[in-house]
Structure 1
Amino acid sequence: MSRVLVAGVDTSTQSCKVRVTDAATGELVRFGQAKHPDGSAVSPEHWWRAFQEAASQAGGLDDVSAIAVGGQQHGMVALDEHGRVIRDAMLWNDTSSAPQAEALIDELGAAPAADGEPEDPHQRGIERWVKAVGSSPVASYTLTKIKWVAQHEPANAARIAAVCLPHDWLSWRIAGFGPVQPGENAHLDALFTDRSDASGTLYFDAASNTYRRDLLALGLQPDDACTPGAAATEHAERIVLPHVLGPNQVAPVNADPSIAGAQVPGGCIIAPGGGDNAMASLGLGMAVGDVSVSLGTSGVAAAISEQPVYDLSGSVSGFADCTGHFLPLACTINASRILDAARAMLDVDYDELTTLALDSHPGAGGMTLVPYFDGERTPNRPDATATLSGMTLRNTERRNVARAFVEGLLCSQRDCMELIRSLGAQIDRILLIGGGAKSMAVRTLAPCILGMDVSCPATDEYVAIGAARQAAWVLSGADDAPDWPISIDAVQTGTPTPQVYEAYVQARG
């Protein structure tokens, strides 16, 4: 009997990856990858061409029974009534909408304080946003980009007939839809998404699973009025937003047979897809009590929670996950590049950095690095710089500098974990992933700084695995996702060194 195949797609900032997978076992069958262009504003057509190239490298998708797409979050894809992309998609890393993020906070905070609300209008605005949609505006979120277009490109804003996210748009194209000629039906109503990606827009409430078109209207308002005008309100009601599917719900449309499933009776079904962080957690098999710490260019700590969390300071994003639960997430701007800075400063490679750091002792002889090299998001200090304090003639040695950099990296991630824990999230297991997790110095010191054993999964494409797992789940019709094995390279143990984190907390203030 031939095995059933599914495909998981990861359309990230850097590339598109297609993983053809055995639906029963999770075993990798075929794989393809194609690069995306650099930049923070990109034509989605590049994603479509990269998907086609990656699918071809993976041997085609004719024999695939189900497909799901995981993708970079927050990117704004604006379509006109003919299904044409109006302008290059503004991606999560496009920070030009930072003033619009601040304006949205102030707009929601302008009304007088109710009982128990802060007197400061800005802080009041942050709290109101968190209570409304789980997160407070920063430049990465979709709504801030919509407001930027409304203020800087009003002609483009007026043409918006639908707004979707990168994974939504690619799923729609896989279903065979796209731009049409005037007079033809663009089938914008066929757009669909999931809770995880929708929860990163600022106009979807994952707790009630409803769109907040009143907040979308604030984004479409070209000025910074506290209440959107009639035109913005009417436009917000008229815009097509993707249908939000449940975690194991089949999309209402199949993949176009020319793209996937041509050899499969009944064709290839499409799963909801999801945002990259949520898809990675699904790929890792995370459950309530698990937290992942991902050390890439940025650092991301994310936990699975049965209940929504509301961080009224705005530091923790209240996202949804891909299983019907929630994904409280805290992000640092600085992560693996802290190690790059250490290597450059000491003129060593990664192995030499590890040797130096492990030759020192907990606390780096009294040195503490607060690693805000590019400012910081958690805590919110955009203009901060890094500081290396506690240096004396006695302790200023290369090994202590190396140790301080590694400890500073891990302490910044401990900050994120403690924020998530303070909101009631259960933390029983830590999964350490990402490029920075390959460092033996990081692996060795992680349990000491984070205060508990740390599991290090094997390096793999967890977003694509999560997408494939979701596709297999939807195909099966089961209540729960398939139980695919996850390879753990090592479980790191170590003696906790709370004094190191305490010194860090004092140094960062």
Structure 2
Amino acid sequence: MRCTLGVDIGTSSSKGVLVDADGVIVASATRAHEVDRPRSGWVEMDGRVWWEEFVSIARELIAAEPTAQVVGVGVSGMGPCILLTDEADEPVRPAILYGVDTRATAQIARMTADLGVDDITRVGGSTLTSQAGGPKIAWVAEEEPRAWDRARRLFMPASWLARRLTGAYVLDHQSASQVSPLYDIEREQWHDPWWQRYAGGIAQPALGWAGDIAGRVTADAASATGIPAGTPVIVGTIDAWTEAVSVGAHEAGDLMLMYGTTMFMIHTNSADASAGALRTPSMWTTAGAFAGTRNLAGGLSTSGALTAWLRDLTDADYPELLADAATSGPGARGLLMLPYFAGERTPIQDPDARGVIAGLTLAHTRGDLYRAALEATALAVRHNVETMRAAGADIRRIVAVGGGTQGQLWLQVVSDVTGLVQEVPATTIGASYGASFLAATATAHTGGEPRIAEWNPVAQTVTPDPTLRTLYDALFDRYVRLYEASRDVVHELADDQRRASTPTTPTPEAS
């Protein structure tokens, strides 16, 4: 039985699937892990764990189906992450994660002043924010010079796995476009003057597209993983883009809405590179997963992470909380929450934003709080969608994916708050499935390429309740005003939190 194996390294877990030629999942495996938060605003992870979990997952999947013939390997991972390694490919420090890590604010300000907003946007597509990889590279150079002196290569989870499996040093264009401002989005190449200025000493990875073949499994990697030597491995890309592939949401006019630990949105705005890319200061303009495509993207810093926090805080399980939230009803009995518990990415681009719960009384219950959290993430999605549309995005189709789609209430709340119809495909396992599909496409015989619409058809459509439109229009207006009214106070509190979390004695630099 011909199969492809796909593995995705996520924020809270690594997931893998073994998929047959018809798109049926033959076996799946998961490894839970946690990120490290050594200081306020820092979110990082030991990159060596990514390979260890890949090896463990691959061996479990292959053992689960002895008749499977693995003909291709797909890789994917959270991002943009900055993992710097030495000449021997040993990490010089833990990987700095994507926009939830906000340590590089000084570097963002300095690079913006040095290069100018107009030139940064012209070359890289987006203004510099906590999502950008370039300032995080500069942070290592400035704050950890011993680690920087050893750094020779740049990886993200997918490219790190491809390196360990094949020996190839390659990064996909989509991921590269988020190492802003070091990538030229219109020319689809590294912007050499700025690379040399901010990443001198780091070898530039070769560039490919997500579904290209990076190389073939080496004898050493085969011995470690159980995958046959010579098996093709794709270049891969960032998990949100691989999730979009998994549900076919990568055509012009599509919007992929990923429900996970964080929430991510990707709008494909052009299949023609000559048309240029949409740009707006509060969102991210990136290259797409496929040649010639462009995306306007946004992301929440918390979504599933917020509901998990409430679960742990109340010592209740999800079914209990969902039942309580359903009883609470639309509007959460007069509660309004800002979901900025880890700062916020788009569209406010405010790493010092913090969570706010307004309207609390002694009569409110855990169900009200949980309902308010679901509505808060939905209001944040609406804020992003309206910002995209104001920038010229023609959103014609919304596809939902990710673990959060298993909860019907959350889906319905998002549709009700945004007024959007959502399509939910049959398989919502996400990026690992999309990685398997890309591997299947890359290794298919001419004329026999799989189609994602056949692998993963739409199984459900979620339609907004029109009777709730007035309620949620009013709540959205309050949501925007609450952030504006509380911003100065929460910024002062964020500063207090930073001081409280900063060690009184210097932390030894990673060696």
> What range describes the TM-score normalised by the shorter chain of this pair?
0.7 to 0.9
Secondary structure of the residue aligned to 2:414 is helix
1:399 Cα deviation after fit: 7.5
- The 5 A counterparts of 1:98-247 are 98-109=105-116, 125=117, 127-175=118-166, 177=167, 190-202=168-180, 203-220=182-199, 235=200, 239-247=202-210
Kindly provide the amino acid, as one letter, of the partner of residue 106 in structure 1.
Answer: A
Q: CA deviation at 1:36?
A: 4.7
Alignment of 1:243-392 (within 5 A): 243-251=206-214, 253-260=215-222, 267-288=230-251, 289-306=253-270, 309-313=277-281, 315-324=282-291, 325-339=293-307, 350-351=318-319, 353-355=321-323, 357-359=325-327, 363=331, 368-378=336-346, 379-389=348-358
Residue 96 to residue 29, structure 1, CA distance change in 2 (3 Å) = same
Evaluate the alpha carbon distance shift between residue 105 and residue 471 of structure 1 in structure 2; reply closer, same or farther with a 3 A threshold: same
Which of 408, 412, 415 in structure 2 is aligned with 1:447? Answer: 415
Partner SS for 2:279: coil
Mark the CA change 1:6 to 1:420 in structure 2 (over 3 Å): closer, same or farther.
Answer: same
In 2 relative to 1, CA 63–383 (structure 1 residues): closer, same or farther, beyond 3 Å?
Answer: same
Counterpart in 2 of 1:432? 400
TM-score using structure 2 length: 0.78
AA of the residue aligned to 1:11: I
Specify the SS of the correspondent of 1:304: strand
Cα separation, 2, equivalents of 1:391 and 1:20: 47
For the aligned residue pairs, the C-alpha RMSD in angstroms reads 3.5
The structural deviation recorded for 1:35 is 4.6
Matched, 1:465 2:433: yes
Aligned match for 2:85, one of 53, 74, 79: 79
| Equivalent in the alignment of 2:57 | 54
Instruction: Name the TM-score, length of structure 1 as normaliser.
Output: 0.78
CA spacing shift, 1:361–1:258, aligned 2, 3 Å: closer
- Which letter does structure 2 place at the counterpart of 1:304? T
What percentage of aligned pairs have identical amino acids?
A: 24
Q: Tell me, in whole angstroms, the C-alpha distance in 2 between the residues paired with 1:38 and 1:398.
A: 27
Deviations 1:211-256 (A, max 9, x none): 0122223424xxxxxxxxxxxxxx36xx4222111354333x3211
Q: Is the 8 A contact 1:63 1:260 kept in 2?
A: no
Structure 1: give runs of 5+ residues left out of the alignment.
110-124, 178-189, 221-234
In the aligned structure 2, how far is the partner of 1:211 from the partner of 1:402?
Answer: 44
Return closer, same or farther for 1:477/1:136 CA change in 2, 3 Å cut-off. farther
Q: Which amino acid aligns with 1:196?
A: Q
Instruction: Give the Cα–Cα distance (whole angstroms) in 2 for the partners of residues 344 and 71 of structure 1.
Output: 26
Alpha-carbon deviations, 1:38-87, whole Å to 9, x = none?
Answer: 42444433222222111111126993222121112122222333444333
Secondary structure of 1:410's aligned partner: helix
Residue in structure 1 matching 2:22, options 22, 25, 42: 25
For residues 179-217 of structure 1, the C-alpha deviation after alignment (integer angstroms, 9 at most, x for no partner) is xxxxxxxxxxx4112122212211223332110122223
Q: Which consecutive residues of structure 2, in runs of 5 or more, have no partner in the other structure?
A: 37-42, 482-511
Compared with structure 1, are the counterparts of its residues 488 and 162 closer, same or farther at alpha carbon in structure 2 (3 Å cutoff)? same
- In 1, distance between residues paired with 2:330 and 2:419? 13
**Deviation of residue 107 (structure 1)?**
1.9
Distance of aligned partners of 1:78 and 1:478 in 2 relative to their CA distance in 1, 3 Å threshold: farther
CA distance 1:68–1:343, shift in 2 (3 Å): closer
User: Shift of residue 404 of structure 1?
Assistant: 4.4
Which of these residues, 432, 451, 460, is aligned with residue 490 of structure 1?
460
CA contact (8 A) 2:213 2:235 kept: yes
Find the partner of 2:14 among 16, 30, 42: 16
Q: Aligned-pair distance for 1:5?
A: 2.0
Deviation at 1:266, TM superposition (A): 9.1
Partner Cα separation in structure 2 for residue 80 and residue 135 of structure 1:
30
Change (3 A) 1:146 1:287: closer
Q: Deviations over 1:461-496 (max 9, x none)?
A: 311111111111111265976334225453222333
Q: What's 1:183 paired with?
A: none
Q: Deviation per CA, 1:358-384, whole angstroms, max 9, x where unpaired?
A: 456655566544433443223233333
